[in-house]
Amino acid sequence: MSRKIIAGNWKMNLSTNQGIELIQQIEAVDTKHTIIAFPSFVSLSSIAKEAQKISVGAQNCGAFQNGAYTGEVSTQMIKDVKAEYVLVGHSERRVILKENNTDFKAKIQRCLEQNLKVIFCIGENLEQRQAGNEQSIVSEQLSQVLSSFNTSELSNITIAYEPVWAIGTGKNANNDQIESMHRFIKQFCKESFKTQFKVLYGGSCKPTNAQEIFSCKSVDGVLVGGASLKADAFISIIQAAG
């Protein structure tokens, strides 16, 4: 099997000590795949110091370079602690924190200025899927955020397709849904931005379905939430990638 990206989004979970312990257990696994951990900002520096083979990223970043933005964390600060990636556009940031495509565009710009790699999350909600609008929703998310970047900038971005109805619900998209959406995203990006993106799947990926998800030809990796918090579950997912 080709080299996959297996990313764990810890969300607002795990203390720094718990994160370090988890990293130590994952580091012990022999794998050719790219593993990325996304801890909280508070743990980011310690986790980045601990991780040797695993890459580390931030779950969010500020949309401004620096200055009077109380509570925000700049991409320069993220780069400073040797993190390599930033998650942008997660549905929890869209829905709960009310961020929009204009915010994501600014955040990606800040990431690129600091040579940070971006995992840009897109995906439709249940209502949109039931109305048959999933392709128009993701193409709008892609166009509104990515169309102003040039091909060299876009080469630092990976897409994560995360249907909102599959996140944290235990109900993953099936292989037909994943395959057809990943193909659509890749084709759309090739035509619109002349770029071949890697596309990760996210949404209730767990040890019991990981192998099936990895069997989809157009899946370049997975973004894992809940199942990334426990070493045994996350390690089974890594092993399912072959």
CA count, 13 A, side-chain hemisphere, 239? 11
From the candidates 50, 90, 92, 124, give the one annotated as an active-site residue.
90
Q: Is 224 in the site for ligand PGA (CB under 6 A)?
A: yes
Candidate residues 57, 123, 202, 221; the one interacting with ligand PGA per rule CB under 6 A: 202
9 binds ligand PGA (CB under 6 A): yes
CA neighbours within 13 Å on the CB side: how many for 76? 4
Q: State the nearest-atom distance from the C-beta of 191 to ligand PGA, in Å.
A: 27
Of 5 and 74, nearer to ligand PGA (C-beta) is 5
- 113 tagged catalytic: no
- Percent helix, strand and coil across the chain, each to the nearest 5: 45, 15, 40
Q: Is 237 in the site for ligand PGA (CB under 6 A)?
A: no
Question: Exactly one of 205, 213, 216, 219 binds ligand PGA (CB under 6 A); which one?
Answer: 205
Q: In whole angstroms, what is the distance from residue 233 CA to residue 229 CA?
A: 8
- Asked whether the CA dihedral 153, 8, 35, 51 is positive or negative, the reply is positive
d(CA 198, CA 155): 10
Residue 168 binding ligand PGA, by CB under 6 A = yes
DSSP 172: P
Interface stretch with ligand PGA, choices 16-24, 44-52, 95-103, 198-206 (CB under 6 A): 198-206
Check binding of 223 to ligand PGA (CB under 6 A).
Answer: yes
Does residue 203 belong to the site contacting ligand PGA (CB under 6 A)? yes
Q: Which is nearer to ligand PGA, 62 or 203 (CB)?
A: 203
Largest CA distance in the chain: 48
Closest residue to ligand PGA: CB criterion: 225
90 assigned to active site: yes
Output phi, psi for 67, to 5 deg. Answer: 120, -155
Interaction between residue 123 and ligand PGA (CB under 6 A)? no
- The DSSP line for 79-115 is HHTT--EEEE--HHHHHTS---HHHHHHHHHHHHHTT
Binding site for ligand PGA (CB under 6 A): 9, 162, 167-168, 202-205, 223-227
